[in-house]
């Protein structure tokens, strides 16, 4: 049976354009931009580095990386979806800084020789792949000795949101992630995966996305959760709508808070 996770087979989704637009909306949200940059500094990504991003999507991180590594560096993005790569090519064309190359490929079998990159990253990707340890081992293989492998994921067990009906909120949020993801708590497991792949000096950065105004990306995230909850038979359409209306009322009362933990983990390849 195909996975219900749309990010695992993006090209097969009827709403692929909407999902790609969602990546750009998330990437442009100021709190998300800060969160991403804190992680890239934590890795750290340095000027002149050759960097690979696995599961690069529409190129949100690739564009940041190109500016960070500068003209002496290079950035390669790999993704298994041809649709998202077409969008990334268009969106990355005006990017300043390093040379950018975008390639089709599967993280379970990266199309690169060993020891090629100074830093290899996967950002909100590991929770979507079928076999996380195989992907992380591949990332380690293509990284040079002394280079860094960095992973960052949300953790859907660490989502907090204000709503007048907390029981319904749990039923929808927890129920949906259990249906979609084999590994909804991916974030907290990233340091263990790096060690299992043989990386050394593993460090963890726990960070948090926060939104107190119901930003467009958060609104879309909650609307998509409501849609899935109906699709999975967790609630009926009227209950899902009542749940979404509850957020509108919470915002109007000045009481809206949404937070989600992100875990970033980095390990070094032995020399």
Instruction: Check binding of 27 to ligand SAM (CB under 6 A).
Output: yes
Q: Which of 123, 190, 197, 222 binds ligand SAM (CB under 6 A)?
A: 123
186 binds ligand SAM (CB under 6 A): no
Helix intervals (H) in the chain: 16-28, 30-42, 60-69, 82-92, 132-142, 166-180, 186-196, 216-231, 237-252
d(CA 256, CA 175): 22
The residues with which 208 forms a beta bridge, in sequence order, are 261
List CB contacts of 93: < 8 A, sequence separation 6 or more: none
Q: At its nearest, how many Å lie between ligand SAM and the CB of residue 173? A: 18
Q: Pairing relation of β-strands 258-268 and 200-211?
A: antiparallel
Judged by beta carbon, residue 131 or residue 236, the one nearer ligand SAM is 131
User: For residues 231-270, which are near ligand SAM according to CB under 6 A?
Assistant: none
Residue 172 lies near ligand SAM (rule: CB under 6 A):
no
Classify the C-alpha dihedral 136-24-79-89 as positive or negative. Answer: negative
Closer residue to ligand SAM, CB minimum distance, 217 or 247:
217
User: What DSSP designation does 221 have?
Assistant: H
Task: Report the residue number, 123 or 168, with the smaller CB distance to ligand SAM.
Answer: 123
Q: Which is nearer to ligand SAM, 75 or 235 (CB)?
A: 75
Residue 250 Cβ vs ligand SAM, minimum distance, rounded to whole Å = 27
Q: At its nearest, how many Å lie between ligand SAM and the CB of residue 252?
A: 31
Q: Which residue from 36, 38, 81 is spatially nearest to 56, judged by alpha carbons?
A: 81
Least distance in Å: CB of 106 to ligand SAM?
Answer: 5
Distance of alpha carbon 77 from its chain centroid, rounded?
Answer: 14
Q: Tell which positions 62-101 bind ligand SAM, by CB under 6 A.
A: 78-81, 84
Stretch that binds ligand SAM, among 106-114, 204-212, 222-230, 237-245 (CB under 6 A): 106-114
Structure tokens at 246: 């509850």
Segment near ligand SAM (CB under 6 A), from 105-113, 158-166, 175-183, 230-238? 105-113
57 interacts with ligand SAM by CB under 6 A: yes
Cα–Cα–Cα angle for 90, 93, 94, nearest 5°? Answer: 120
3-state SS, residue 33: helix
Task: Look up residue 244 and give its two tokens.
Answer: 């979404």
Interaction of residue 128 with ligand SAM, rule CB under 6 A: yes
Q: Which stretch binds ligand SAM (CB under 6 A): 54-62, 154-162, 178-186, 252-260?
A: 54-62
Q: Which residue is it, tokens 């709190």? A: 31
Contacts with ligand SAM, residue ranges (CB under 6 A): 7-8, 10, 23, 27, 54-57, 60-61, 78-81, 84, 106-108, 123-125, 128-129
């Amino acid at each position: 049976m195909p996975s219900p996770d749309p990010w695992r087979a993006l090209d097969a989704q009827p709403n692929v354009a909407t999902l790609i637009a969602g990546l750009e909306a998330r990437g442009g949200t100021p709190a998300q931009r800060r969160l991403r940059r804190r992680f890239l500094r934590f890795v750290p990504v340095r000027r002149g580095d050759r960097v690979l991003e696995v599961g690069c999507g529409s190129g949100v991180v690739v564009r940041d990386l190109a500016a960070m590594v500068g003209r002496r560096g290079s950035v390669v993005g790999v993704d298994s979806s041809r649709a998202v790569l077409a969008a990334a090519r268009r969106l990355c064309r005006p990017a300043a800084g390093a040379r950018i190359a975008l390639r089709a490929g599967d993280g379970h079998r990266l199309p690169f020789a060993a020891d090629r990159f100074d830093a290899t990253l996967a950002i909100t990707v590991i929770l979507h792949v079928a076999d996380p340890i195989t992907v992380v081992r591949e990332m380690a293989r293509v990284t040079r000795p002394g280079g860094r492998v960095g992973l960052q994921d949300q953790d859907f067990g660490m989502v907090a949101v204000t709503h007048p009906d907390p029981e319904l909120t749990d039923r929808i949020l927890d129920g949906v992630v259990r249906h979609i993801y084999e590994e909804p708590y991916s974030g907290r497991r990233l340091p263990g995966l790096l060690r299992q792949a043989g990386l050394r000096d593993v460090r963890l950065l726990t960070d948090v996305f926060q939104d107190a105004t119901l930003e467009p990306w958060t609104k879309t995230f909650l609307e998509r959760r409501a849609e899935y909850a109906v699709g999975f038979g967790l609630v009926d359409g009227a209950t899902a709508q009542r749940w979404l209306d509850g957020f509108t009322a919470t915002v109007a009362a000045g009481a809206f808070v949404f937070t989600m933990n992100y875990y970033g983990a980095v390990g070094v390849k032995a020399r």
